[in-house]
Structure 1
Amino acid sequence: MRGEWPDGWKRMPLADAGKWLSGGTPSTANSAYWDGDIPWISAASLKEFRIDRSDRRVTRLGADNGSRLVGKGTVLFVVRGMSLKSEFRIGVTERQVAFGQDCKAIIAADGIDPYFLAHAVQARMPEILAMVEETSHGTGRLDTERLQELEIGVPPMPEQRRIVAAHAVVERRIAALERVRAKFRVAEAALAAEAFAEVASRWPTARLESIATVAAGVTLGSEPVGEGAVELPYLRVANVLDGRIETADLKRVRILRSQYERFALRKGDLLLTEGGDLDKLGRGAVWDGRIDQCLHQNHVFRVRCGEKMSPDFLSLYTSSDAGRAYFQRVGKQTTNLASINSTQVKHMPVPVPSLTEQEKLLGPIRSIRSRVAAVDRQLSKLRVIQQGVLEDLLSGRAISGQPGEVVRR
């Protein structure tokens, strides 16, 4: 997408693609500014491509005093927050909204469809994430001046709209699979909740540190060089999702060979994330050992179970309502960021039934998870196809025909 575009397409930097706007946060001390009917979009609440809601809402008075109002068809994206460590959140407003200082807005210029513009930017996610810098607080920050220098190709409006329509066809297929996946996850959560509610009261409990070891990973920054160093892949927050681990985009880090055992992962280690959105605190999954000699970053806790605890059972508990409630209760929260520390993880009270009871509970859960895994594989393939199609369309290497049809030039 960064070469020559077809005849009739305009090459332009993002700075010229529309009017750029910054947001803000009305004073939380003034009750007249909040709980109105205008969604207030922040780095934490910008989660959908089509933006029309938020957990926090402002009044018109609040929007006029410290925030920024934009209308339908405005492109919004995150420029600061923990989410920037793993993804670039962007979308288009479906109604009038206000937004905070951790986001930027672009009102598309004449001749540019806002949905096309959002897709054109979204397709450059790898380059954009490479621009993200880490602040002293551990959050990500995107330099908008560098972002504005990115060039996109803009075709005539009819072709823009065909590209948007072609993308929407694939998006609907993905949405259908995600609904199926969500039903399976609801069933899994219901099974776990029912089991914990029925028998948890008779299980003994213990602090996590008494049945497992908790460790932080490699701190990035000053990497060693020389004969005593080795470069290895590592898992960061972006790789550790809720119930699964993605390794398609692993990064590498250099450590001293003598530090390897301290930071190395073993099959069966439970990985929990340190920070993010409040409802995502402590999200994690069990490492399956798919990569030899793999490490973990300091923002990912490694929990290694002892003889009394199955890592799959512990993972089920940490992701349960009770487990999430604990992390939300002890987590430190700022406006758009929440975090937990290793002491809080170590002090987490967990049920400790016998291994036989743990395995009995895990049986039906594993059956559902195998179905979820099958859907995940389909989703992964479809997203790869979607990305390839979008790149071909946005580069002009292909044109959109009938709905869902893409033809190479």
Structure 2
Amino acid sequence: MSTATLDIEKRKLFVPKLRFQEFDKDWRLRSLGEITNWASGGTPPKDNPLFWNGDISWISASSMRGIIYSDSELKITDAGLKKGSKLAKKGSLLILVRGSMLFNKIPIGIVAKDVAFNQDVKSIVVDNNSTSEFILNWFTAFESKILNMVTGTGIGAGKLDLQDLKTLKILLPTLPEQQKIASFLIAVDEKIRQLSRKKELLEQYKKGVMQQLFSGKLRFKDENGEDYPDWEEKKLGSISNIKKGKQLNKIELTKVGLYPCINGGILPSGYTDNFNTLENTITISEGGNSCGFINFFKCKFWSGGHNYSIEIINLNKTDNNFIFQLLKYNQSEIMSLRVGSGLPNIQKKDLNAFLLKMTSSIKEQQKIANFLSSIDIKIESTNKQIIKIQTFKKGLLQQMFI
């Protein structure tokens, strides 16, 4: 192989798989510390009211949701800024370097307006040959690698070493190419934000409608325009058979199978070729961290040992989906039935005795259930769009960054 061929092969290592066609220059290998300046924040004394409830947003781990930071629940005054915190200017980045969140993700985002920040957060100011938006997406592209750098055990003990971060190697294109990449990815992020906002509004709308429907303030009419009968209280155990599932050993579960195994969690804990519950069944988690969570499975499934299945006794008088929606409306009250000082659990007797205020008219039940289900369909459709675009972006990051 000639020297020229070797040089061409070497250059291929310094260009991404996916690239805008107007760019052809090699990317430059730098360390993150060479192109950025880092600063630590701080916390003003919390026992002094002169430092708090001001107009300056103060970013801590709890404020680091999403990738744009401009507001927070806690705010400090100018005196608080001078006493213990520091200001991150618009256009800089903020990254969390200490806290339990680091065990699952790397919270990092761009500052949309000047904000203060605490000692668990670092500000990053990039040099004139780089853009914050490109660096932000670089962190996202290599998040799994950075997660492996997190040290510490226990609650709140996750930590990223500042010097380790600064020594990370980064391949940089020219500034115009960075701006082009960032602009394209910003458009993708904006679409995700729009859909996320749409989902949030749909969820808020459903919550409001449920409050109106299940409090009796909003009622449907029958086919003659007349009111349905007054609502009455019924015990959950009087309209359903509440059955605790049967435990399956983990070795009996597979990653794929005919039927999901619901062992009390929000998601299936595995799959099996057997089922012990029919489709269209409501479930309530019996114990563990998700204790009291209510779900509705349209397929047949195996009900595990930490799961209750709610089987309606007479489907000609009681609509399954209506009871599911009514139980979801009462989610917090169901969860208040938890007992136990360790991992909580819910007793079957307490579920049997749980009171539901409901209409006895199957037709009114169906109208309510169908209306709420139509909102659920819109929420699920929007969520699928979000996941699809997030997957698309993940693929882009894998090919546009090296």
TM range (shorter): 0.5 to 0.7
- Deviation digits for residues 62-109 of structure 1 (CA, Å, limit 9, x no counterpart): 122232222112211223445445433211112211112332221223
Contact 2:96 2:107 in 1 (8 A): yes
**Alignment-derived partner of residue 160 in structure 2:** 143
Residues 250-291 of structure 1 deviation map (CA, whole Å, 9 limit, x = unaligned): 9x9xxxxxxxxxxxxxx854569988xxxxx99966375999
- Pair 1:286 & 2:304 matched: no
Corresponding residue for 2:221? none
Report what 2:316 is aligned to: none
Answer yes or no: is 1:374 the counterpart of 2:381: yes
In structure 2, list runs of 5 or more residues that go unmatched: 1-11, 16-24, 218-229, 256-264, 271-280, 314-318
Partner residue in 2 for 1:116: 134
**Are residues 1:352 and 2:367 paired?**
no
Alignment check: 8 A CA contact 2:94 2:124 kept: yes
Q: How many Å separate the matches in 2 of 1:104 and 1:315?
A: 45
Whether the 8 Å contact between 1:18 and 1:108 is mirrored in structure 2 is yes
Contact 1:213 1:304 in 2 (8 A): yes
Query: 1:317 & 1:184 partners in 2: Cα distance?
Result: 18
Supply the distance in 1 between the matched residues of 2:28 and 2:369 (Cα, whole angstroms): 57
- Superimposed CA distance per residue, residues 312-350 of structure 1 (whole angstroms, 9 cap, x where no aligned partner): 778756865x756998x99xxxxxxxxx97549779996
Q: Secondary structure at the match of 2:129?
A: coil
Compute the displacement of 1:48 (Å).
Answer: 3.1
Q: Which has the higher contact order (CA 8 A, sep 6+)?
A: 1
Confirm whether residue 185 of structure 1 aligns to residue 200 of structure 2.
no
Q: Distance in 2 between matches of 1:394 and 1:383?
A: 16
Cα 1:71/1:81, change in 2 over 3 Å? same
Label 1:373 to 1:353 Cα distance change in 2 as closer, same or farther (>3 A): same
Change in CA separation of 1:305 and 1:43 when aligned onto 2, cut-off 3 Å: farther
Partner SS for 2:61 = coil
Letter of the structure 2 residue corresponding to residue 5 of structure 1? F
Q: State the superposition RMSD in angstroms.
A: 5.0
CA distance in 1, matches of 2:210, 2:80: 42
In 2, Cα distance between the equivalents of 1:212 and 1:21? 57
Specify every segment of 5 or more residues in structure 1 that has no aligned partner in the other structure, as ranges. Answer: 218-227, 234-243, 253-266, 276-280, 297-301, 331-339, 396-409
Seen in structure 2, the aligned counterparts of structure 1 residues 9 and 319 have a Cα distance that, compared at 3 Å, is farther
When the two structures are superposed, what TM-score results if normalisation uses the length of structure 2? 0.64
| Counterparts in 2 of 1:353 and 1:85: CA distance versus 1, 3 Å | farther
SS of the aligned residue for 2:71 comes to coil
Moved more, 168-177 or 364-373: 168-177
Aligned mates of 1:61, 1:273 — CA distance in 2: 48
Residue number in structure 1 paired with 2:26: 8
Query: Over residues 336-390 of structure 1, what are the superposed CA-to-partner deviations in whole Å (9 max), with x where a residue is unaligned?
Result: xxxx975497799965356968766433222211122222222222222222223
**Per the alignment, do residues 183 and 94 of structure 1 end up closer, same or farther by CA in structure 2, a change over 3 Å counting?**
closer
CA contact (8 A) 2:286 2:346 kept: no
1:286 partner amino acid:
N
Matching of residues 95-114 of structure 1 within 5 Å: 95-114=113-132
CA distance 1:381–1:351, shift in 2 (3 Å): same
In the alignment, the residues of structure 1 paired with residue 235 and residue 198 of structure 2 have an alpha-carbon distance, to the nearest angstrom, of: 35
Alignment-derived partner of residue 44 in structure 1? 62
- The answer on 1:18 being equivalent to 2:18 is no
Q: Deviations over 1:31-50 (max 9, x none)?
A: 11111111001111111322
2:75 is the alignment partner of 1:57: yes
Q: Structure 1 vs Structure 2: percent identity of aligned residues? A: 22
Question: Structure 2 CA distance, aligned partners of 1:311 and 1:104?
Answer: 51
Q: Aligned partners of 1:318 and 1:362: how far apart in 2? A: 12
2:308 is matched with which residue?
304
CA distance in 2, matches of 1:91, 1:391: 19
Q: Compared with structure 1, are the counterparts of its residues 36 and 323 closer, same or farther at alpha carbon in structure 2 (3 Å cutoff)?
A: farther
TM-superposed CA distance for 1:214, in Å, is: 10
CA deviations on 1:112-131 (whole Å, 9 max, x unpaired) are 21111111112222333444
- 2: CA distance, partners of 1:147 / 1:273: 40
Q: TM-score, normalised by structure 1?
A: 0.63
Q: Deviations over 1:170-213 (max 9, x none)?
A: 22333333343333223321221112322899546899xxx979
Query: How many equivalent residue pairs?
Result: 337
Q: Are positions 1:172 and 2:190 aligned together?
A: yes
Give the 3-state SS of the residue equivalent to 2:401 in structure 1: helix
Counterparts of 1:140 and 1:41 in 2: how far apart (Å)?
A: 19
| Correspondences of 1:245-324 after superposition (within 5 Å) | 269-270=283-284, 286=295, 288=297, 304-307=308-311, 323=331
Match of 1:157 in 2: 175
SS in 2 for 1:352: strand
Cα separation, partners in 2 of 1:214 and 1:193, compared to 1, 3 Å: farther
